Structures are given as C-alpha cells and as structure tokens.
Structure 1
Amino acid sequence: MGRVKLRCPQGQGPRGGTLAGRARTASRMALLETRKYSQGSALGAVNPDLASERQTPSFSVEKLTALLDGGEENTRIRRAVVEAIESDPVFSRENQYFQSQNEKYEAAVRKAVHLQKKMHEMGWTENGPEFKYIYRALSGEVAFLLHTIFMRSISVLGSDKQVAKWIPLAMQYQLIGSYAQTELGHGTYLQGLETTAVFDIATQEFILNTPQISAMKWWPGDMGRSATHTVVFAQLYIQGKCYGVHPFIVQIRSLWDHSLCPGITAGDIGPKMSFEHIDNGYLMLQNVRVSRENMLSKFCEVQPDGTYVRRGSQQINYLTMTAVRVALISHEAVIPLMKACTIAIRYSVVRRQSKLKPGEEEAKILDFQTQQEKLLPHLAAAYAFHFINNYLQDLFNRGYEEIQRENFDMLPELHAFSSGFKAIVTQYCASAVEVCLRACGGHGYSLLSGLPSLCTRILASCIYEGENTILFLQTARFLIKCFMAASAGHPVPPSVTYLAAGKPGKCPAKNKFDFLSPDIYTQAYRHAAVRLISSTAAKLQVLIQSGVKKHDAWNECTVQLVQAVKAHCHYITVKNFAETVERLEAKGGIQKIMKHLCDLFALHGIFSNAGVFLHDGHISGAQMDMATASYLDLLAVIRKDAVPLVDAFDFTDKTLNSALGSYDGQVYQRLYEWARKSPTNTQINPAYERYLKPLLHKKLSKL
C-alpha cells in the first residue's frame, strides 16, 4: 500500500496522552501518509483528524479492498485502469461543476471517442478483464453508453447472421447505436407500447410508425444528437394480427452527413435533473421501412411468406433489460452509495462542531451518536448490496448459460430478481445518499462536495430501466405464484424454497447479545417475508372467492404486495450477507469487521421496521428493546473503523471529485480553491450595468 502506520504500545495512548500530544502524533502520521495510486493530495499533508482515524484499524484495509474486488489480481488491474485513465488529460473532470449542458455533452463525446484510442493503445478489449473497470474510472461521464446496450441487444436477441453483420460494425464504431424502448406515454409496461411494425409481404419489409404523440420514443440515451442506429421495440403486426412487442434495428441518421433519415424525426428532450452529459432524445417514425432481416430473430422470426415462428418464451425480449438492471445495481446505485459514504464519513471526522464534554475542544461530528446513526447503517448497506450484487450476477450468468442452451426455465426467476433488487437497492440508496448529503450540513449542498450529483443520479435510477413500483409488482407476481406452488407441494426455484418451509415459532432471544446471532435475525427476516407474502396471497384468494375479478383483487392488494416484495428482498440480502461472512477466513480481522457490518445492517432493518417484526408477536416488545440496544452498541464499535472501511472502497480523489471527501481531508482549503475557479469570479458581472448600477446610482443621487 505504500502506507506507514504508527502504532502505540499496547494499553497506552499516543505519547503524552494530551490533546496536544495526540495532535503532534497525528501530524506526524499525516506527513507519512501516502498513496501509490493517485490518492495523494495536491495540498500537502493529511489532516491530522483524518490521519488519526487510520492509525489502528482492526483489519487489513488492503485485504478488504481485494475482497471487494474479488482478488488481489483484480485490484491490481483496476488500479492500473484507473491510473491510465486519470493520468490522461482528455479524461480530466476538473472544473466540470462549472460546465454548461453543451460543454458536458461535448466533453462526454470527446471522452468516448478518445476512449477507443486509449483502449487500442493499452491493449484493452471489450472481453478483457480491464473493460469492467473503465466505467468506474470515468464515473460514467462518457457518451455512447447506450451503444453497449445496443450491442448487447443484438448479441442476446439476434441470430448468428445478425450478430456477424452488426456487432463488428458497432465494435469498430462504424455506427453509433441506441436503444429505443420507452415511449412518451408508456415506460415499464412493454405490452402497452404503441409503436407499430407492420410486415409487408410484397416488399419483405417492416413499416414502422409512431401512430400518435404518446407513441413517440422518449428518453433513449445518445438518441438526441449522437446515434445513427437504434433498436426500436414495436408491436409486430402480420396480416392484421398483433404478435406482441419485438425489437427492430432502424437507421435514424445518415452515416455520411449525420442528417436524419427519411421518415425520422428526432432530437434532444432538453434539460434534466441529472445526466446533463447524455443527449437523451425523442424519436418519431413515419412509414419507416426496414428489411425483414432487421427484426432481431434469434428467438422469434417472420418468414418470407409471413409465417411467425417463436422459439422459447415471450419473456426473452426482457433479457436485455434484465442484464441492464443487474449491471445498474452496481454502477448506478452501490458505487454512488459507497462514494457518498466515503465523502460523508471522511468529512465527519474533519468537521468539528459543538462539545461533547465541557472544557474540551469541539468534537468530531462522527463522535455524536446521532451522526453515527445517520451514516454507519448506510455504510453497512453499501457492503450488503455489494455482496447481493455478486449473488445476482452469479444467478444471471447461470441463467444466461441455460438460455444459450435454449433452456428458458430460469427466465421468470431472473426477471423477478433483477426487477425486485433493482427497485429495492436503488430506492434504499437514493434515500441513503440524501442522508449523507444532509449529514454534511450546508457544505453538502455545494456541487463541489460531489454529493448533489450523486443524489440526483441515484434518484433517476429509481425510474429508468423500470419504474420501481412497477418492478416491485412484477416481482410480486413471481412470489405469489411460487407461494401458491409451494403450498400445493410443487417444486419452486431454489431462491424461494423458504416459502415451503414451516413457519418458525417465537424469536428465542433472551438478551441483547442473542441478536448478534445471524440465525436469530435471519430467521426473523424469513418469518416477516413469509408472513407478508402468505397473508397477501390469502387476501387475494378471499377477494377472488368473494366474486371480485382477478385484476380488481390484485389492485386492491398492491400496497401489501409491494411490502411483501421488500420483505423478501431484505431477507435474501441479510441471508446472503450472513452466508458471505461465514465463508470468509477468520484471519486478518476481515471476517470480524464484516460480521459487525452484517449485524448492523440486519438490526438497522429491524429497528427501522419495528412494526413488521412486532406485528404477530414473533419478536416481543421486550425483545425489540434488546435488538435496539445491540444496534446502538454496534454504532460505537463500527465508528472506530469507519474511515478504514471507506478507504477500502479505494476511490481516488479524482474519482470522488469532492472537496469534502478527499483522502487528505483538507476540506476548507479545497472548497476555497475550487470556488475561486468559478467563471463567475473572473467574468464581468452581467447584471451590474443593466440593473445594479442604475439602482445604486438612483439611490446615490437622492443622497
């Protein structure tokens, strides 16, 4: 790591034991504290308050980083990618907080174009181990992200012939792709899409139309000004019969002069709350003809005589979105939460405010229990969600291998899990990042803190690639179906076999220490999930048996169905975290600190959702007091390692791009230096001559 650690003799504090002595020791630590991978400070020494937090971690930060990366070799590769990206001035993020929408868009395109050259220079490929770290190194601020989804759609849904034709063109950027699914009037509900593709047998073409304004494609990234081609999802019609939504490759701009093709109306949808660097666009199609070969046909095909052939499930068209949702969890929710925790926790040991004890200096705000309770559960959640993302990625990989063998049995489970976890993780992270922002006080609201952009980015993720409430309800259908099957003794997927197990009895905890047992709190989560799913299924049955139509009965249960899905996802996350901890080696302190984080994550959920666990008496009121006591005790335990735990995320200062969260903790100097770079401080005040001068001179003349 290139880091020198000063340790005090066992049982003693820093020399002298006084505040001055501790300050001198921390100052020496600050001078010795260095990083080999772009973490160094441009301002000099590390803030003594932050340096002191790193003196005696209970675990190896480097080993924890390697655990998160999936091995030391992955850490080495990731750092090499980060170093290569951050040492290249084209990828600089300096002054981005002062850029206009056009400037951000141009910078994103410049980075995307330069990235192709960089990858060639470095020998990186789309299939190589480095590729997955590029997006993280660029913090997602690069154009043509939908180009990847365009290629994935063709790779997953296209025939061998289509893959051979289009993928080489896309990989060489002889075209720029987008992905046009969402419409102005329809989003997650694909069956309701209004864009049509009518097969013309005479010409062997599909005629695509957006029949009304609500059918206009709206929001596709890279559509507004960049893309030349897109995958359009449209309702397929053959001889007047609708065969449902299918994907079609459509050229929208000339490869020669980038002008719009005949029948195409497209443009940028305008300013958004975030993603200013992306040209989200709109697309209208008026009698646009594409060849029969342009319908992606690995699983569905229209033959020359108009015969429709399907291989596999209709749900196969959701596979691209399933893959995107799994990837989204990490890139657009978990990593931003990790960044927010890093910024807020580092700032919370630098910022001093008020006094804990009379006569002492102002305290680090992280020493206040309320600040710990704001931040540390979200730190634990960042680790929990990192591990659940690994679980989902493994599940998807196994499912995709089966689909490649034309076994579609795992599709419903993949769709349900990607939907439910995308919804719960983004919803949780959106709330958590906002808490991190508010925990930094006024400075958190400055764009220079890096937190507002993280906050708006995660808020957006609650909507795109599926609005969260709808996704919860899609998962609910899967869970209810599985519960009914399990109740009837039929087999269900391994991930939901717990629905068939017998109901547990009362919680056996006798004291607060019992709530540090994974068996006890995991059982409590399982009980809550089974209770909510079974009670909602029972309500559905009662309504239907009483004569209420199925769709009306479903609508009357949707609030409870969403609760049930959240309980299911929470249970799986806690269970997976506990099992991950169990598999860790005991040496090096990693398992111990991960156990503390797992306990905190689980008990925070019980503390925050007490009614769910108290509802039927599985946990009693007295036991809830025990759980609360254990939860609060853990805050003080984890607080000691809070800074090393965020250091293990291994974000460079350039990646964080935060005046509050830098590795050296020189918060106030950096805020001032960055603020001085604002163009408004060097430009002539445009309001002075026109408004301020006449106003002030008018007052002066009266004086």
Structure 2
Amino acid sequence: MTGGFNNNVPTKFPKHLVPKGPNGPELLETERAKASFNVNAMSTFMYGKEFLEKMQNVARVLDSEPAFEKTQRYYQGRPERVAHAYEKDKRIVELTEELNWDLADRRIANMLYDQSTPYSLHYGMFLPTLEGQCNEEQRKLFLEPALRHEIIGCYAQTELGHGSNVQGLETLATYIPETNEFEIHSPHLTSSKWWIGGLGKTANYAVVMARLIIHNKDYGPHPFCVQIRSLEDHRPLPGITVGDIGPKFGYATTDNGFLLFDHYRVPHVSFLAKFSQVKPGSGEYVKPPNARLSYGTMVYVRANIVNGSRFALARGATVAVRYCSVRRQFVDAAEPRKWNNQVVETPVIDYTMVQYRLLTIVASIYALHFTGREMFRLYDLNHAAMKEGNYSLLADVHASSSGLKSLTTTMAVDGLEQCRRACGGHGYSLFSGLGQFYQDYLPNVTFEGDNYVLTQQTARYLLKTFRNVIAGKAKPSEHNLTITYLTQYMQNPKATCPASSGAELLNPEILLSAFGFRAAFAIAQVAEDIDRNGRTWNSMLVEINRISKAHCQYMIVRNFFIGLQQATDKELGVAERKVLQALACLFALHTIETEMSEFMMSGYLSPEQGKMVRDQVLELLARVRPDAVPLVDAFALPDYYLASALGRSDGKVYESITEMAEREPLNHTLVVDSYDKYIKPFVHAGLERKKNESKL
C-alpha cells in the first residue's frame, strides 16, 4: 500500500474547534423564548396525554435497542438494510410480548422507525383486509394466525399491466364445482402481480385480487386468501412463481415482489366471504347487500394515509424551521442583528421568502391534523351505520377519502421537497434526514390509487350530488356538507364576497363561503359541459381533477375552523386558540392565493379583494413568525424519529453533521483503497514526466 504508514486511521475533525457563535442551542433557546402559547398544552390538545406518553416511552425503548439503530442507515447497501429491517420487525414482535405493547404502541414504534419494512404490508393491508372481509370461519383460519404472526401476509392487487384500473385485472379465479375449489391462473405476462410489498421474500400468504369466473361468467375482481410459500421451509409452493422486483427510487427495505399462478388450486374457504359468497357445489353467486361494502377497508387505509400526511409534513417542517433558525446568512443592512454587541449574520428564518415557504407549510400541518381527526370520526360513524344496515354515508365517505388521499399526499410530497430546499445546500445531504425520507414517502401518491385517477371517483360523486340537488332529490344535512354548499350556491349563483377590508377576510364564515362557492361553481361548470354541451369524460379530466381538489380544500378549511369552534376552553387555552386561529386563516388565505384564478373566474372575488388576500397573507406571516420554532416543537417529534443533523432539538447542527461525516466508510482510512490502482499511475506518471522535462 502507500508508503509505510498505518492507513487504518480514520479521518477525524479537530475536537477543539466549535461553531462560530452565536451557536445553535443559543439561537433555538432565543426562538423558544418568543412563544406566545404553551407548547406542551398545544401538543396535548393535538395528541392527547396518553398518546404523548406512549410516544415518549416507545421512543426511549427504540433509542436503546440495536434493532432500531439508525446511524448506519445512510451508509448501508440494500442487502444490509433489508437484513436490519427483518431484525427490526422480529424485535417489534418480541417487544410486544415483553413490554405488553398494544396496537397503538406498535403503530407508534413503526412510525418512529420511519421506514417501510418487510412486515409493513402485513400490518397495513393484509390484517385490515382480513378484518374487514373474513367471515367467522375465515377469521379463525386466517386472521387469528396472522395476528399471532404464524402466517405473514401481503395484499396482491396491482399487476404488471394494471394498477389503478382494478376492474381490468387479468388474474383469474375460476370456480371448479367438481372439487369445490378455485383455480387461480395468470394467463399473460402482464397478469403478474407486481409492486406487492412484503411479497418478494417475506410473505407466505397473500390476499389476491382475482377475477371471479363461475360457469364462464365473469363477476369481476374478488379477494382470495392464498398460501404461496411453505410454512416449513418457506419455499414457493408448486404452481407459484414469486420474487423481488428489484431496486426502486425509495423503499429499499421493502421486498416489493411479483407473483404468477400456474393453474393453482385453492380450497373454497379461500374466497373471502363476509359480503359476497359462492355456494359450494352449485357455484351460485350471492352478491353483497351493497356493491360498495368493500370500500370500507379502502376508506380505513386512506384515512390512515391522510392522517400520515401531516406526520410526514411535520417531520419536514420541524427540520427546516429549526435549521433555518440556526443557519445564518448575510447581514440585513436595514435591521442588523447583534450578538454580544457585535453585528452578526441574519437567521435565515427572518427572511420573508423563507417564512412564506415554511410557515404556510406549518399552517397546512395543523389544518391536516383536524382533517385527519375528522376522517377517522367519519369512518367510525359510517362503520357503525353499516353494522345497522345503513349505507347512506358510505358513498360520501368513500368519495371524501379518495379526494383527500390524493390532495393531502400531494401536499406532503410537495411540502417535503420545499422543506428540503429551504435547508439550502445541506438539505441535499442525507444527513438532513429529508432526502431518504422523501424517497420513501413518494410512493404514497400512487399506492392505494394514483392521485389523479382517485380524483375521478370524487368528481363522479360530486356531479351525481349536484344533479340530485338540481332535481330536488337531495336535502342539506349535518353529515353531507357537499349538498349544503351546492344548495347555497344554487340559491344565489351570482353571489360575491362581502369583505371590504383585509381584516374582514379573517372571518371564518366569509372564508368558508368563498371555498364553498368556488367549488360549487366549478362543479356546475363541469356538469354543464358534460350534460348539456356533450363533452366527454376524457376531455374533461383536467377540470374533473380541479373540482375534486376544490371540494377537498373546502373540507380541510372547514375542518380546521369547525375543529377550533368545537374545542372546549378546557381542551384549548386562550393563547393556543389564538395562534391556531391565525394559522387557520393563513392556511385558508394562502390556499386562495395559490388558487386565485379559480376564485376570480367564479366571480366571487374581485381583483381588489385578490390584492387584499395577498397583503393579509404577509401580515399573518409576520404575526406567526415569533412562534415558528414553538409551533414545530409542539409536533413533539423525538430526535430519534427525525434522524437529522439539521433538525436536532438541541440545535447542535454543525457538531452533528461533522460527526455523521466521520462515520462515512470512505473516511475510515486516510487513503482510498483504489489509490494504487487508479490514482497513483496518473499522478506518478505526471511527476516522472515533469522530472524528465526539468532535466532537458
């Protein structure tokens, strides 16, 4: 090797050097001292005392367990990361028994680990589907063993050739009356189940969505619980071809897989029969009492995705706001900052453009908190109603969950990237904790329905409801807000915004009227084009996407204001309510500003009022600015979860990022191993050439 020195000495930063003052801890302490509200009270209002205690307890456990260690994550290749993910999943099961963890504890642990793993779809899709689709016999045969981890499952719906178009799935499940079995078969290459999380190397069972064929009649996709690997040695069963689909943009620790069936027979009990049945022997098909009953599981999963979008955004905003409060760049000549009587550079968070980028995201996180809570309330309300045979809420809840899943995950993806960019050059480093997280969050915009396709489901419901309102078949109710704002619009389709000053734009009733009118106007225009002007659905897809977005933005704004209105004084103190009210107005007005063309096209807002909206957004930013760090502190996200040098709660940004750089494997030696083979020949040849030239 190079010379005679010891090359195994790692590169280290000089320990006597410290960051130039004022340092991070001092700056964050200054920011926290500006709080206009009680951070702990805000956290308790959002999460509840029990959840916060659980999160703190679980975080302490994970932080001390090797199976959940994160410091090596940025340096590992996929095989090492997958192996560590298996270790984590196994340890979760063990800790559940050792510490008597409940479902909430396990969910918190998986959230804090913040990385999808081979068992993620077992918990996220396999178990919920069995819970929602099994009859009593199947619960004992499939669900109970799955809860005990005797079988590990996945949810096999998407195919190589079909994703969002579930009705177009190619996998067949043909009933064989002679043996009372179903034969599952993949007739084409594009029939391969594809992208299925946990399928590649982990799952031994799968819920398989396949087209039910009885006596040559196609009844469309139905769920089957199918064993695919041996419980003895984990080998694929005869007739099964299964494997991993390969590297992806993110999700390196999940074994997304493919699956093909070759005339594979499964017993009659594999057909999940809570809602629809196939009678043994005769093959008579018994349809479900309501065609949309299977939506229940989708609504639950999408409600979780909506709720998860605010945690994703909260992570990004916590890192970015804290870092921008520590990072200092340039001296503001008009308002120079001083520290120990010396002029210092300005914290980045004090620049209005940074506030506009980040504080509007903070407002959206609080908005999504109230919508996530409302989604679960509606899910529980609908679930209870369906148990009584009442399906009146199902269509509305399904449509809302579809549109909100689309909108909120798009907001989260866009917001995460905005937070990363706000961190400047250091945001590009994986040590920011945002790059890898962004990659892993990104699939949310396509799984459980592509975001653009999902908006069509919402739009169909909106248009149907509008037609019913026109025909006098729908009346406003407390559980159907769509009918309410459509009815109000039809009563006065020429209404205009009554606000004559920026201050009046802070009135929740005026803001809600603006959002409801804009959505109703857009729905009416689409209905006019389709129903009277002969436009095709395909030609209207851009506008269809817009009406879904408008409807869901109305819902988010309404949930924010109504949530604050319904909160009791015991739940929410005066100071906390005041800052949340400012955030609600900021979210609403910034959304109007972003979608200004639609509000003006509807005729509800004038250009003068548009200018008032912009001015009021800037005024609200200035009002919220002193609470920037306290507002992200209230998210109560542990440092373990953030895994970020930039977003540490103690503000030690530069100490942390240099310490993490020391762990880089390339820095474990003084000279790179490839030096002799790839660098030395060129350098030494050049030196020799220079030496020879000097002799001439």
Fold match by TM threshold 0.5: yes
Contact kept in structure 2, 1:82 and 1:134, CA below 8 Å: yes
Q: Which amino acid letter does the alignment assign opposite residue 613 of structure 1? A: F
**Displacement, 1:46?**
5.9
1:181-220 matches, cutoff 5 A: 181-220=157-196
1:480-495 matches, cutoff 5 A: 480-491=463-474, 494-495=480-481
Contact kept in structure 2, 1:340 and 1:454, CA below 8 Å: no
Give the structure 2 partner of residue 133 of structure 1: 108
**Displacement, 1:439?**
0.6
Give the structure 1 partner of residue 421 of structure 2: 438
**Displacement, 1:324?**
1.2
**Displacement, 1:405?**
3.1
Give the structure 2 partner of residue 701 of structure 1: 688
Give the secondary-structure state (helix, strand or coil) at the position aligned to 1:557.
helix
Percent identity of equivalent pairs: 35
Give the secondary-structure state (helix, strand or coil) at the position aligned to 1:459.
helix
CA shift in 2, pair 1:131/1:406, >3 Å: farther
**Displacement, 1:158?**
1.0
**Displacement, 1:340?**
0.3
Question: Which of 386, 389, 396 is the aligned partner of 2:369?
Answer: 386
CA shift in 2, pair 1:406/1:616, >3 Å: closer
Give the structure 2 partner of residue 285 of structure 1: 261
Residue 511, structure 1, aligned to residue 501, structure 2: yes
Question: Which of 469, 482, 500 is the aligned partner of 2:487?
Answer: 500
Task: Please list the CA deviations of residues 325-364 of structure 1 after superposition, one character each: whole Å capped at 9, or x if unmatched.
Answer: 1112222x22110000000000011000112126642101
Give the secondary-structure state (helix, strand or coil) at the position aligned to 1:265.
strand
Question: Which of 315, 326, 329 is the aligned partner of 1:339?
Answer: 315
What is the CA–CA distance in structure 2 between the aligned matches of 1:157 and 1:403, rounded to whole Å?
A: 14
Give the structure 1 partner of residue 41 of structure 2: 63
Q: Which amino acid letter does the alignment assign opposite residue 384 of structure 1? A: A
Give the structure 2 partner of residue 15 of structure 1: none
CA RMSD of aligned residues (A): 1.8
**Displacement, 1:316?**
2.5
Give the structure 1 partner of residue 386 of structure 2: 403
Task: Please list the CA deviations of residues 201-233 of structure 1 after superposition, one character each: whole Å capped at 9, or x if unmatched.
Answer: 111110011111111100111100100000000
Give the structure 1 partner of residue 307 of structure 2: 330
What is the CA–CA distance in structure 2 between the aligned matches of 1:199 and 1:232, rounded to whole Å?
A: 15
Task: Please list the CA deviations of residues 153-207 of structure 1 after superposition, one character each: whole Å capped at 9, or x if unmatched.
Answer: 1111111110122122111111110110001111121101110000001111100
The higher-RCO structure (CA 8 Å, 6+ apart) is 2
Residue 522, structure 1, aligned to residue 512, structure 2: yes
Give the secondary-structure state (helix, strand or coil) at the position aligned to 1:224.
coil
Contact kept in structure 1, 2:420 and 2:434, CA below 8 Å: yes
Moved more, 690-699 or 478-487: 690-699
Residue 365, structure 1, aligned to residue 365, structure 2: no
What is the CA–CA distance in structure 1 between the aligned matches of 2:440 and 2:332, rounded to whole Å?
A: 36
What is the CA–CA distance in structure 2 between the aligned matches of 1:572 and 1:301, rounded to whole Å?
A: 37
Task: Please list the CA deviations of residues 628-658 of structure 1 after superposition, one character each: whole Å capped at 9, or x if unmatched.
Answer: 1111011111110000000000011111000
Give the structure 1 partner of residue 409 of structure 2: 426
Contact kept in structure 2, 1:246 and 1:317, CA below 8 Å: no
Give the structure 2 partner of residue 473 of structure 1: 456
Q: Which amino acid letter does the alignment assign opposite residue 625 of structure 2? A: R
**Displacement, 1:431?**
0.8
1:656-675 matches, cutoff 5 A: 656-675=642-661
Residue 157, structure 1, aligned to residue 133, structure 2: yes
What is the CA–CA distance in structure 2 between the aligned matches of 1:82 and 1:328, rounded to whole Å?
A: 22
What is the CA–CA distance in structure 2 between the aligned matches of 1:196 and 1:322, rounded to whole Å?
A: 26
Give the structure 2 partner of residue 35 of structure 1: none
Question: Which of 598, 608, 624 is the aligned partner of 2:594?
Answer: 608
**Displacement, 1:688?**
2.2
Contact kept in structure 1, 2:24 and 2:326, CA below 8 Å: no
Give the secondary-structure state (helix, strand or coil) at the position aligned to 2:209.
strand
Q: Which amino acid letter does the alignment assign opposite residue 575 of structure 1? A: R
Give the structure 1 partner of residue 120 of structure 2: 145
Task: Please list the CA deviations of residues 98-149 of structure 1 after superposition, one character each: whole Å capped at 9, or x if unmatched.
Answer: 11111111111111111111011111233xx534423223224443111122
Moved more, 312-321 or 168-177: 312-321
Moved more, 595-604 or 605-614: 605-614
Give the structure 2 partner of residue 40 of structure 1: none
Give the structure 2 partner of residue 118 of structure 1: 95
Question: Which of 528, 532, 535 is the aligned partner of 2:525?
Answer: 535
Moved more, 354-363 or 96-105: 354-363
Give the structure 2 partner of residue 94 of structure 1: 71
What is the CA–CA distance in structure 2 between the aligned matches of 1:470 and 1:556, rounded to whole Å?
A: 14
What is the CA–CA distance in structure 2 between the aligned matches of 1:254 and 1:695, rounded to whole Å?
A: 56
Residue 231, structure 1, aligned to residue 207, structure 2: yes
Moved over 6 A (4+): none
Q: Which amino acid letter does the alignment assign opposite residue 114 of structure 1? A: R
Task: Please list the CA deviations of residues 403-444 of structure 1 after superposition, one character each: whole Å capped at 9, or x if unmatched.
Answer: 233433332222211110000001111111111111110000
Give the secondary-structure state (helix, strand or coil) at the position aligned to 1:316.
coil
What is the CA–CA distance in structure 2 between the aligned matches of 1:225 and 1:142, rounded to whole Å?
A: 12
CA shift in 2, pair 1:365/1:534, >3 Å: same
Specify every segment of 5 or more residues in structure 1 that has no aligned partner in the other structure, as ranges: 1-22, 28-44
Give the structure 2 partner of residue 78 of structure 1: 55
Residue 623, structure 1, aligned to residue 606, structure 2: no
Moved more, 577-586 or 184-193: 577-586
Task: Please list the CA deviations of residues 471-525 of structure 1 after superposition, one character each: whole Å capped at 9, or x if unmatched.
Answer: 0111111111111111111126613122122236211111111111111111111
What is the CA–CA distance in structure 1 between the aligned matches of 2:526 and 2:674, rounded to whole Å?
A: 61
How many residues are treated as equivalent by the alignment? Answer: 652
**Displacement, 1:620?**
0.9
Contact kept in structure 2, 1:60 and 1:588, CA below 8 Å: no
What is the CA–CA distance in structure 2 between the aligned matches of 1:229 and 1:445, rounded to whole Å?
A: 40
Question: Which of 175, 184, 192 is the aligned partner of 2:151?
Answer: 175
Task: Please list the CA deviations of residues 598-634 of structure 1 after superposition, one character each: whole Å capped at 9, or x if unmatched.
Answer: 0100010111111111114311111111111111011
Task: Please list the CA deviations of residues 281-301 of structure 1 after superposition, one character each: whole Å capped at 9, or x if unmatched.
Answer: 111111111001100001111
What is the CA–CA distance in structure 2 between the aligned matches of 1:621 and 1:461, rounded to whole Å?
A: 37
Question: Which of 545, 567, 579 is the aligned partner of 2:550?
Answer: 567
What is the CA–CA distance in structure 2 between the aligned matches of 1:454 and 1:597, rounded to whole Å?
A: 26
**Displacement, 1:667?**
0.9
What is the CA–CA distance in structure 2 between the aligned matches of 1:373 and 1:56, rounded to whole Å?
A: 19
Give the secondary-structure state (helix, strand or coil) at the position aligned to 1:385.
helix
Could you tell me the TM-score, scaled by structure 2's length? 0.91
Give the secondary-structure state (helix, strand or coil) at the position aligned to 2:391.
coil
Give the structure 1 partner of residue 637 of structure 2: 651
What is the CA–CA distance in structure 2 between the aligned matches of 1:413 and 1:290, rounded to whole Å?
A: 36
Give the structure 1 partner of residue 244 of structure 2: 268
Contact kept in structure 2, 1:46 and 1:663, CA below 8 Å: no
What is the CA–CA distance in structure 2 between the aligned matches of 1:271 and 1:210, rounded to whole Å?
A: 24
What is the CA–CA distance in structure 1 between the aligned matches of 2:659 and 2:272, rounded to whole Å?
A: 53
Contact kept in structure 1, 2:210 and 2:223, CA below 8 Å: yes
**Displacement, 1:557?**
1.2
Contact kept in structure 2, 1:53 and 1:643, CA below 8 Å: yes
What is the CA–CA distance in structure 2 between the aligned matches of 1:570 and 1:74, rounded to whole Å?
A: 28
Moved more, 450-459 or 427-436: 450-459
What is the CA–CA distance in structure 1 between the aligned matches of 2:220 and 2:178, rounded to whole Å?
A: 22
